[in-house]
Structure 1
Amino acid sequence: MHQLTPAAPPTVLLVHGAFTDASCWAGVVRLLQTAGMTVRALANPLRGLEQDAACIRSAVREIAVPVVLVGHDYGGAVITHAATDADNVVALCYVAAFGLDAGECVLDITNRFAPVPSAEATRIAALPVRIPGSRECELYIRRERFSQVYAADLPSGVEEVLSVLQRPIACGALTGRSGPPAWASKPSWYAIATADRMLNPTAQRFMAQRMAATEHLLDGSHAVVLSQPDAVVAMIREAVEQVDGLGPMTFARTDDTGMGC
């Protein structure tokens, strides 16, 4: 067991979702740092729920202070799965994100609600061959549709750059089944993007209410972490302030370097 630093303020760990990378948090990071908070934006491999969660869990266990985990999009599924047995995670924040229940996958949620424009705006490409005979594939947003479905509220030209920089997600990540959800035992916050065309806002509200999260309604696109970083930071700061000052806790620290990214 590893002792947490007593009375230490939480570290905020940001986990991005599909079709982007950690740079999507740039505005959020700047505002959190200006507020004097310790923050890290982690690289999410986007290769599969189990291995992506293992990567994030490994990073969490290296931190000897309380952690507030924040996930956007598919990053929500990752933090839900990763934080279940991470005792130093004291709160979860979801930003237009998947907060899966035990046994659920991303497609279970998207198929449960009315289709959004992104359903017809993606394309599948073969994954670079790594294992002979593998048929794994990965998913992109079509460049000509990126602005409409992902970043409709960003300045003209910015979304074009983002469409070029997008990182694909392995198709298998969308069918990975979640374990017991961390939100069942940890306080949660959820920013619902009401103009989202990637993840149905109704689905977001359903997940937020299911986890009894503190809800924040943001009039923004799926790229709300970029278009409204101040509103996202307001939610994160609310979570941090409510869990700050917790007494020392203990958590298991793995020596298995295979858990790392």
Structure 2
Amino acid sequence: MNTQEVPSTAGRDPAEPTPPARRRARRFGIAATIALAAALVPSSIAAATSSGPTHQQGSANAAEHHSSAKPTIVLVHGAWADNSSWSGEVQRLQAAGYPVAVAPTPLRGLSEDSDYLKSFLASISGPVVLVGHSYGGSVITNAATGNAAVKALVYIDAYIPDTGQSAAELSGPDAALSSAATDPTSVFSLVPYPGAPAGIVDTYVLPSVFTSGFAGDLPKAKAAVLAASQTPTSLKAITEPSGAPAWKTIPSWALVGKQDKVIPPAQQRAMAAHAGSHVTEINSAHMSLISHPAQTTALILTAVRATN
């Protein structure tokens, strides 16, 4: 540390003016010091920039900082849902010190929703861990393909499609929504929407199907609120085939709800095995992100720590 010596005033009246000769000497001393510093600074800079060890140490420090940077955890909701589904996980992840973003999903179609998420991810700097629930699993599978910033995929009671597979196809014959294949009105309320492709409508899950199929382990009053406030989902979203899957190049984790009636556990296990995902099973219905936020968060953090 540089220190500056202060001239002593002992033995002199502080009100007494400094003699002119001493003022000139002081000014000369300050000027000489500045001139000497000006002469030394360029050579010091040159020595620092030409010094291999110093430069390498700086690069090493920068690399260490980059590798220890926490990824942004991006959460993607499923069909007939919205961003509030992730409230329990957001609180816990933020408390753990992680940056979190909940991506809105238009629910217009798999290609449209995936393109929207791609644009959303492009606005985030640094590494990303991408998490999808239910239909959100199809969206992250498509949106992350070719994106080097995405370090892990986490599927929460989710579809994990391969090329050409749709959510409707992957649900299986025992799913709560399976009868929609022959009689859509047995499961959905169908509502036209402006600009829809031919034969495509918005779907709302019937309240009775929603409360029993989706929210079987939630209090009935909570399930009823979710059924009444569901976000409409285009029929195209659940029937459109998937593109090239990101899980072929990005490690993945899957949380399987053993009481899930929307994507039965056998279907989830088969998809996870096909994708080579690390699987954790819990005793949960389809909306585990709401009924079991602590366990859902724990799996997300497992993926984060494994790839950071």
- What amino acid does structure 2 have at the position aligned with 1:130? G
The count of aligned residue pairs is: 238
Q: Which residue is equivalent to 2:267? A: 203
Is this contact kept in 2: 1:114–1:200, CA < 8 A?
no
Q: Which residue is equivalent to 2:66? A: 6
Q: Which residue is equivalent to 2:296? A: 232
Where do residues 17-166 of structure 1 align in structure 2 (5 Å cutoff)? 17-110=78-171, 113-120=172-179, 122-130=187-195, 134-166=198-230
SS at match of 1:6: helix
Give the structure with the higher percent strand: 1
Runs (4 or more) in structure 1 with deviation over 6 Å come to: none
SS at match of 2:260: coil
TM superposition shift of 1:28: 0.7
Larger RCO, structures 1/2 (Cα 8 Å, 6+ apart): 1
SS at match of 1:97: coil
Give the Cα separation in 2 of the matches to 1:126 and 1:227. Answer: 29
TM superposition shift of 1:207: 0.7
Q: Which residue is equivalent to 1:187? A: 251
| Residue-by-residue CA offset, 1:43-97 (whole Å, 9 max, x unaligned) | 1111001110011111111111100000000000000000001110000000011
- What amino acid does structure 2 have at the position aligned with 1:100? P
**Higher alpha-carbon deviation: 198-207 or 114-123:** 114-123
* TM-score of the two chains, using structure 1 as the length reference: 0.87
Structure with higher Rg: it is 2
Is this contact kept in 1: 2:176–2:209, CA < 8 A?
no
* TM-score of the two chains, using structure 2 as the length reference: 0.74
Is this contact kept in 2: 1:53–1:78, CA < 8 A?
yes
Give the Cα separation in 1 of the matches to 2:123 and 2:162. Answer: 26
Flag structure 1 segments of 5+ consecutive residues without an equivalent: 245-261
Give the Cα separation in 2 of the matches to 1:85 and 1:127. Answer: 35
Flag structure 2 segments of 5+ consecutive residues without an equivalent: 1-62, 180-185
Give the Cα separation in 2 of the matches to 1:124 and 1:159. Answer: 18
CA RMSD across the alignment: 1.6
Q: Which residue is equivalent to 1:218? A: 282
